[in-house]
Structures are given as structure tokens and as C-alpha cells.
Amino acid sequence: MGLLELKVHSRSTRGKNANRRTRAAGRIPAVIYGHTRQAENVELDATEFHRVLAGLAGRSVIFSLSQEGHREEPIALLREVQRNPVTDEVLHVDLFEIPRDEPITVDVPIVVRGESVSIKHGEANLSHGIDSVEISVLPRDLPEYLEVDISPLRTNDKVFVRDLQCPAGEIISDPEQMVLQLKPPSIFGLEEEEAAAEGAEEEGAAEAGDADKDKEDKADKKDRSEKKDRTEKKDKKDKKDKKDE
């Protein structure tokens, strides 16, 4: 299941300078909030949190929050992780507390297992449609992922959301969504060729358009130049006629 223990520590300080000092001390500023809970400022051990993040690998997870001085251990979803856009350092974490006895709606990843004979023999390639589905489930029953066994599948076989087995809760994603398909290599190649051809056509059209624009610009420039020459010649002639008078 996706319930992991995470230690949180009380935090009384606030503000940018205080948060910098917290991070310098090897901890991450965080906040816990919920529908019926007032927001509480806490901090996490940076080393422990990074270890937990590394172990998630895209899995859905709910944390059981362990806090010194508190008997009850609330459970919370990891709502947001704010990072430094340059260094990728974790700057702040948002934890959303949820009731233990009420269903939640979360995305759960899909994991492919097994080996298809068609793929093994080069008769098909695996084409993914979606990599996760939305389910409604009690927090304590949240699965880490849903499995799809492709061993019995052959070329052109498809798996839809309706074909997935959920050990707990209910899948609420569109049942007609395609999860994956075993496509013949020729279809793969044809799709790639069509995509390349479309790209070449678009690029050629863009280049042709640029060339036409250059021609139009040159023609306009030539017309302006000839018009200027005619105007200058007329002005000179008018001046000469006035002198002769």
C-alpha cells in the first residue's frame, strides 16, 4: 500500500529569512493543512524527505505523519513540492491532511508486467495510451499501482481501462480509454514516415512562403526605387523648365 511514515517537526518561525536558516540547518519548511484542519507550519528532515521522494518513482503515496508530542498520526497527501528552478533544491512542501475513513480520488500509475511472444519475436511493438488511472479508494487501501500483464497478448491486441483489475476502491477514469496496444512494426514505421512527411511538407510550405515573401519584398523595393527615379527626373525637368522661362 501507499502509506509511508514521515516525521515532521514543529516550526514556530516564519518568513524568507527564517526559511533560509531552516534549509541551511538541513531541514525543509513545510505546511500541513486540510478541510477541517488549521494550517500548521512544520519542517522536515531534508535527507529523509529526499530518500522518500527517490523511492516513490511516480507511485501514489499517502504519508502517516509522525510528530513528537502528538499521539495521533494524521495521514496526508503530498500536495506540492516547490523547487528552486535553477538548483532543483526543495524549497517548501505542502501536505494535505485527509480523513482516514473517507474515500479519496487519486491518480494511480499503471505498471506493465510480463513479456508478449509477439514482442519477443519482433512481430509487434508496445504502444502506450495512458500511464495512470483515477480511482476512488479509502486511504488505507490505496494501491501503489495497477498491473497489466501483457504475456497473453498478441499483435493488434488492446487493453482498455475497463480491462484493468483494481484490488480496492473503484476506477473512475473513462472505461473506454486505451491503456496500451501491441502494434505491428509496419504500422509503427508507417506512422513515423507519415509524421516525418507531414513535418517535411510543413517545413517546405514554410520555406516556400518565405521565398514568396522575399520575391514580393524585392518587387516592392524595385517598384519604390523606380517610382523614386521617375519623381526625381520629373523634379529635375520642372526645375530646368523654370530656369529656361
Asked if 57 and 131 sit in the same domain, the reply is no
**Domain carrying residue 80:** 3-98
Asked if 116 and 47 sit in the same domain, the reply is no
Q: What CATH number is associated with residue 164?
A: 2.170.120.20
Asked if 126 and 169 sit in the same domain, the reply is yes
Q: Which of 152, 167, 183 is the last residue of a domain?
A: 183
pLDDT band, residue 67 (cuts 50/70/90): confident
Domain assignment present for 194: no
Residue 54 is predicted with a pLDDT of: 78
Instruction: State how far the alpha carbon of 220 is from the alpha carbons of 153, 223, 227, in Å.
Output: 64, 5, 10
Q: Which of 64-78, 97-111, 135-149, 215-229 has the lowest mean pLDDT?
A: 215-229
Q: How many domains does the chain have?
A: 2
Q: Who has greater pLDDT, 217 or 31?
A: 31
Domain assignment present for 214: no
Its pTM stands at: 0.60
Q: Which of 38-47, 54-63, 72-81 has the lowest mean pLDDT?
A: 54-63
Q: Which of 183, 198, 226 is the last residue of a domain?
A: 183
For the cut 70, the answer to whether the pLDDT of residue 220 exceeds it is no
52 phi and psi angles, rounded to 5 deg:
-65, -45
Q: Which of 63, 98, 133 is the last residue of a domain?
A: 98
> Residue 120: what residue type?
K
